[in-house]
Structure 1
């Protein structure tokens, strides 16, 4: 499969790869990212691309869209258009099939089909059709007429629309929720949240059986949410583990 390298349209310095860190908005697809990225070599330029947008293939296929031959475009073919994966609007880089009119964000095209924790105790699969309502929005479909893809646990207990997770993280980012590097109070609150809501919850001998059961449920639910956020945004677990736990509980 042919791979193309895309650079800044305004400068010729070349793109420099940056490790995962603070969240950013991709200048190509206009979607949010946490993982590694490529940034314009001109120090005065803020042009930044997801790794998938900078080094994406020119043509692609997806098993959920078997009749579609997807081709990369820098701008959507007409408006309005939405991504068949997450249901969100397409406003920048996109994979589009002329014949079937299907569209996918570059990051949605590259979503992992299966994700699991290191111990293999929790496994989630990317599904086109879901067996239960989304934990976040309590609906089967993202919008009327738009199914949207979801990550679903093996027993079907946990189901999250890709769209709902994207929306939640974006809303928190726009409110400054991930600005802990420049906000000491936020950093401290995230550390407190990590101590109280983290996976290493200390069980007291006086805690009731029901309370222990609820804490176990919360631990699994937080782990599920972390794995999905990691798959969608590019492995931010190490960078924002406490924040993910805090926003889940809030």
Structure 2
């Protein structure tokens, strides 16, 4: 038996306030199904896919293990489907993060880990005002493929191998300190590649993806074949602009695939291997 927040929404001067109450979230382990309050119409079934999907909870991209409604095409990251009522994070020792199904308040909010907008499920600290996407909050502090170890840092002094900037967002850095990739840049790398596949690279400047993440254009993502095509597209773009990612991939071996799989909510060897099959070529 697990627990999930149940929300009572009170309308007060046109502002919505959210109050958490603990209720049971029954999980039928025999059939690997859950009943989720965000989708009460049908039960959600555990599934695994190498095709990217949009999580209907946090509104972020995902891949691998997730829960879905096969009737309504409703998908949730595992971390969004089975959240903790509250969490602590080693990067914010004075904070207690509570789970919300919608960002609190009327002001726009962004994730302190990846600097992307908060549009759905979120862990929020009322004291400090910090916010974390559920998958960002659960990013492993260390990724290890047996050859390369990557450690998660809140800030690093060395520049990111993709954007060349320092201290933009959380970063994964190798033990040898020769490889550094922002969590934000890992997400952008994927979005640029997916947009290149369907829109020819138009409208990816300054985070403008032409509605590919939000709105009706996102329906295209259900037809993206795999991460292999995504990474192939990115490397083609990389050749044109002589970027650093390809060189970085050679230096860090399997580092990139683990970072990407982690930010998508499934830092497993199997998903990482999908990306690794391309990088090793």
TM-score (ref. length: structure 2): 0.66
Q: Which string of whole-angstrom CA distances, capped at 9 and with x for unpartnered residues, describes residues 120-179 of structure 1? A: x2111000120300111100032xxxxx21001112111110000011112222333785
**Alpha-carbon distance in 2 for matches of 1:226, 1:51:** 20
Q: Which string of whole-angstrom CA distances, capped at 9 and with x for unpartnered residues, describes residues 55-91 of structure 1? A: 0101001010111110000111132111111111111
1:37 aligns with 2:63: no
**Alpha-carbon distance in 1 for matches of 2:256, 2:249:** 10
Residue matched to 2:160: 134
Residue matched to 2:184: 163
**Alpha-carbon distance in 2 for matches of 1:159, 1:172:** 20
SS across alignment from 2:157:
coil
Q: CA deviation at 1:3?
A: 4.0
SS across alignment from 2:197:
coil
Q: Is contact 2:51-2:224 (8 Å) kept?
A: no
- Match for residue 103 of structure 2 among 73, 76, 93: 76
Q: CA deviation at 1:239?
A: 3.5
Residue matched to 1:108: 136
The structure where strand makes up a greater share of residues is 2
Residue matched to 1:228: 259
Residue matched to 1:61: 88
SS across alignment from 2:156:
coil
SS across alignment from 1:171:
helix
- Bigger drift between 5-14 and 75-84 goes to 5-14
SS across alignment from 1:176:
helix
Q: Is contact 1:8-1:14 (8 Å) kept?
A: no
Q: CA deviation at 1:222?
A: 4.5
Unaligned runs of 5+ in 2: 5-24, 26-34, 199-220, 236-245
Equivalenced residues, count: 209
Unaligned runs of 5+ in 1: 143-147, 194-214
**Alpha-carbon distance in 1 for matches of 2:79, 2:97:** 15
**Alpha-carbon distance in 2 for matches of 1:90, 1:21:** 25
- Bigger drift between 29-38 and 4-13 goes to 4-13
Name the CA shift for 1:10/1:61 in 2 (closer, same or farther; >3 Å).
closer
Q: CA RMSD in A?
A: 2.9
**Alpha-carbon distance in 1 for matches of 2:195, 2:247:** 31
